Amino acid sequence: MEIWFSENQTGNFGIKARVKSVLLHEFSPFQEITVYDTFEFGRMLVLDKAVMFTDKNEFVYHEMLGLVPVFAHAGPENILIIGGGDGGAVRECLKNPRVKHIDLVEIDKRVVEVSEEFFPLIASMLKDERVRVIAEDGIEFLKRFNAAYDIILIDSTDPVGPAEGLFKRDFYESAASALKDDGIFVAQTESPFFNANLIRDINMILRELYSKTYLYLASIPVYPGGLWSFTAGSKAYDPRFVNRAYEGFDFSAEGLGLRYYSPEVHSSSFVLPNFVGEILK
Amino acid sequence: MEIWFSENQTGNFGIKARVKSVLLHEFSPFQEITVYDTFEFGRMLVLDKAVMFTDKNEFVYHEMLGLVPVFAHAGPENILIIGGGDGGAVRECLKNPRVKHIDLVEIDKRVVEVSEEFFPLIASMLKDERVRVIAEDGIEFLKRFNAAYDIILIDSTDPVGPAEGLFKRDFYESAASALKDDGIFVAQTESPFFNANLIRDINMILRELYSKTYLYLASIPVYPGGLWSFTAGSKAYDPRFVNRAYEGFDFSAEGLGLRYYSPEVHSSSFVLPNFVGEILK
């Protein structure tokens, strides 16, 4: 007998993965949560039928979301992550020893609990003393802060369901207010192959808010088309480069457990194929 | 009614695409050939149940296979392409005006005919006077040449079926003999996520043959994991960079119809994520 999970990613295209077993299936107040054990990728977290990550390749998304901003910023002491209840982005940000505090604001506390139970290597730093996990709507949370954070990361699901408001102008403006004047903002911004209009719209808004707004890319096998975008914005730091403050810092893969990110990958991920550059024009 | 094409890419992982209609299905003497019209990607060529390309994203593979070597080489006058009967690599190579002649050696002449009928924009340059299309086994063809070509491209299917011999040491040695001493060799070398051992083996062989052997990557949505590798080797040219001979050359996307490739993308495609670099150690 063969059991296959299948995700219809665009309506007309999708992926499928052979399943050993279903480890969890439930409906939280916010979304449908499923954990599969797959033959190809190990365990896989699926929210509202969309793959979030798998054991085997979560490192790509989490390293590229977390490490690009923390190493572009000379002193990223205070970080806010909205979404990302799994803890992957937290784990990566803490690889920069200059990080002193992270607020993780996840609307669905079941995501945190499920990650701690089924993905202990991803959730490994959620109990670190530098991390505060807050179960709250990120949109409401943000409104209470002004110039408070060095870095704000939006580690959201797709722009449907609970994350819909995280792709809107009001929210981006609110995040810009909560960010210090020299802060760096990064959001996951979907697929350049399938979500060109969304990427264009978000970049237009962020360019109004940050003079240095740039798109970067990473290869994630279980996301639509295998190529994913992030948008970084800052008024002060150029997010495309590792900050000079880290000259002499040991980025060796062994020490930090880096499987995708390096200072060279950091910069080259901002070099865009022509069709992606065209989206932003 | 919905009809879906599905490719089981690894045994435990695959893609699916919704189909409007099946335009062609036949068995040539070498392989099963199917042309689908899909909702997401337009027309799609499938050989032995594996997607070769689609109208919508063939540009990535063909630009990156063809343009990297022709712009790393100062005078790529005489080119041999083994496989690639669709004509996509031919079309790209001819974007360098220094190219004077291309021998395209495709074992299955039905691939050429099917491409001319169903993919006219891909096959567009096959009738160009600089191009000679030869229906022959590339392995046998190569044995007749010594120091004849400036560039040899291996545009093969996966290493099963008719292309199996194109991934073997004998073949690579034969290609090295047919290449001029300052020539550039490039082969498609499968997925870094799923074919690490193959990539390692090929690179070890090619390093013995070429002092400058480097892997590069491109994002192709319909290939396993969405990320694909090519390996380039040369004794003379550094394939990682556009040759100085092209200073002042107009690479603007408008003129050459470049949708992925640029000189910056050329170089950054050789910057490898750590897990890919590890494969090559």
Query: Catalytic positions of A, please?
Result: 155
Distance from CA of B203 to the nearest CA of A (A): 20
Write down which residue in A15, A39, A54 finishes a domain.
Answer: A54
Nearest-by-Cβ selection for B16 from A16, A258, A264? A16
Mutate to test the interface with A, among B20, B92, B219, B229 (most CBs of A within 10 A): B219
pLDDT (tens digit per residue) in A170-187: 999 999 999 999 999 999
pLDDT of residue B253 exceeding 70: no
| Domain shared by A21 and A110, yes or no | no
| Domain shared by B93 and B207, yes or no | yes
pTM of the model: 0.97
**CB-based contact B56:A193 (threshold 8 Å):** no
Q: Which value does ipTM take for this structure?
A: 0.96
Chain A residue numbers touching B12 (CB-CB < 8 A): 17-18, 38-40
pLDDT of residue B122 exceeding 90: yes
B47: CATH: 2.30.140.10
| Domain shared by B7 and B132, yes or no | no
| Domain shared by B39 and B91, yes or no | no
Chain B residue numbers touching A227 (CB-CB < 8 A): 219, 221, 226-227
| Domain shared by B16 and B139, yes or no | no
pLDDT of residue A132 exceeding 70: yes
Positive or negative: CA dihedral B218, B220, B221, B227: negative
DSSP per-residue letters across B68-132: HHHHHSS---EEEEEE-TTSHHHHHHTTSTT--EEEEE-S-HHHHHHHHHH-TTTSTTTTSTTEE
How many domains does chain A fold into? Answer: 2
Distance from CA of B37 to the nearest CA of A (A): 12
Q: What is the pLDDT of residue A163?
A: 87
Q: What is the pLDDT of residue A252?
A: 86
Closest CA to B83 of B118, B127, B115: B115
pLDDT (tens digit per residue) in B37-65: 999 999 999 999 999 999 999 999 999 99
Higher pLDDT, A253 or A3: A3
Distance from CA of A178 to the nearest CA of B (A): 33
- % residues pLDDT > 70 (chain A): 99
| Domain shared by A39 and A147, yes or no | no
| Domain shared by B31 and B154, yes or no | no
Which residue of chain B is at minimal alpha-carbon distance from A271?
B265
pLDDT (tens digit per residue) in A191-207: 999 999 999 999 999 99
Chain A residue numbers touching B62 (CB-CB < 8 A): none
Distance from CA of B188 to the nearest CA of A (A): 18
Q: Average pLDDT for residues A121-139, to the nearest whole number?
A: 97
**CB-based contact B121:B90 (threshold 8 Å):** no
A247: CATH: 3.40.50.150
pLDDT of residue B254 exceeding 80: no
Measured CB to CB, residues of chain A less than 8 Å from chain B are 6, 10-18, 38-41, 57, 59-60, 193, 217, 219-221, 223-227, 253, 258-262, 264-265, 267-268, 271-275, 278
Q: Is B49 left (phi over 0), alpha (psi -120 to 50) or beta?
A: left
| Domain shared by A9 and A108, yes or no | no
Q: Which amino acid is at B15?
A: I
| Domain shared by A231 and A122, yes or no | yes
Mutate to test the interface with B, among A4, A58, A219 (most CBs of B within 10 A): A219
Domain that holds residue A12: 3-54
If 0-12 CB within 10 Å is exposed, 13-18 middle and 19+ buried, where does residue A215 land?
A: buried
Q: What is the pLDDT of residue A253?
A: 67
**Cβ-defined contact of A259 to B268 (cutoff 8 Å):** no
Higher pLDDT, B168 or A161: B168
Distance from CA of A207 to the nearest CA of B (A): 23
pLDDT (tens digit per residue) in A48-105: 999 999 999 999 999 999 999 999 999 999 999 999 999 999 999 999 999 999 999 9
Mutate to test the interface with B, among A19, A40, A252 (most CBs of B within 10 A): A40
| Domain shared by A223 and A180, yes or no | yes
Q: Is B173 left (phi over 0), alpha (psi -120 to 50) or beta?
A: alpha
| Domain shared by B199 and B238, yes or no | yes
Q: What is the pLDDT of residue A162?
A: 82
Nearest-by-Cβ selection for A14 from B16, B227, B253? B16
**Cβ-defined contact of A273 to B261 (cutoff 8 Å):** yes
Q: What is the pLDDT of residue A178?
A: 98
Q: What is the pLDDT of residue A1?
A: 85
Q: What is the pLDDT of residue A245?
A: 97
Chain B residue numbers touching A260 (CB-CB < 8 A): 273-275
Which residue of chain B is at minimal alpha-carbon distance from A19?
B12
| Domain shared by B43 and B68, yes or no | no
Chain A residue numbers touching B224 (CB-CB < 8 A): 221
**CB-based contact B233:B215 (threshold 8 Å):** no
